[in-house]
């Protein structure tokens, strides 16, 4: 409610905010579904990260980590970009304003997807720290990037 009120007030001042929705589904560690206030179901691919696929090592752990962060909660996102599959590609922030993609990288539950997010240097720094601390998938001596794993399938 507070987020929606703030969005309305800022829009009156000419400032455009992201859309808000309640997370009703988590597909894997980088894709979720939100239900908007108008009851529209929207699938979102989190910008700047690539998480292990279901069936890949750490895939279920990554999905669970994202679920713990966002399931049943309000998030905001920007609906201006879509991927090849028609999903919205956006940064996602939880109701505390935290960057969900960054948190997933910090926990070692997703890779920094440098190819599509070169300017997100904080993501790269977070990944290096997670690697050093052997968090999540970085506990594996030879983790397989999702983009490499998909090519093998």
* CATH, residue 143: 2.40.50.90
| Spans of the chain below 70 pLDDT | 1-17
Residue-level pLDDT at 22: 97
Residue-level pLDDT at 24: 98
Residue-level pLDDT at 17: 58
Residue-level pLDDT at 11: 42
> Per the domain annotation, does 142 fall within a domain?
yes
Residue-level pLDDT at 152: 83
Residue-level pLDDT at 2: 53
Per the structure, the count of domains in the chain is 1
> Per the domain annotation, does 50 fall within a domain?
yes
The pLDDT tens digits for 130-146 are: 999 999 999 998 998 98
Q: Which of 19, 12, 4 is nearest to 78 (CA)?
A: 19
> Per the domain annotation, does 141 fall within a domain?
yes
Q: Which domain holds residue 29?
A: 17-152
Locate 75 and state its tokens: 């998030």
Residues assigned a catalytic role: 45, 53, 87
> Per the domain annotation, does 12 fall within a domain?
no
């Amino acid at each position: 409610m507070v987020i929606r009120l703030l969005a309305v007030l800022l829009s009156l001042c000419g400032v455009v905010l992201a859309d808000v929705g309640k997370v009703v589904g988590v597909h894997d560690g980088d894709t979720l579904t939100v239900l908007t206030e108008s009851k529209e179901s929207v699938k979102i691919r989190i910008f700047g990260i690539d998480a292990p696929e279901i069936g890949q090592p750490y895939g279920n752990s990554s999905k669970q980590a994202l679920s713990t962060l966002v399931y049943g909660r309000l998030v905001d996102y920007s609906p201006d970009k879509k991927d090849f599959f028609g999903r919205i590609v956006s940064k996602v922030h939880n109701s505390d304003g935290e960057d969900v993609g960054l948190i997933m990288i910090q926990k070692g539950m997703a890779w920094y997807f440098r190819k599509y997010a070169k300017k997100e240097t904080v993501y790269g720094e977070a990944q290096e720290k997670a690697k050093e601390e052997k968090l999540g998938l970085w506990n594996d001596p030879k983790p397989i990037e999702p983009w490499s794993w998909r090519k093998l399938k």
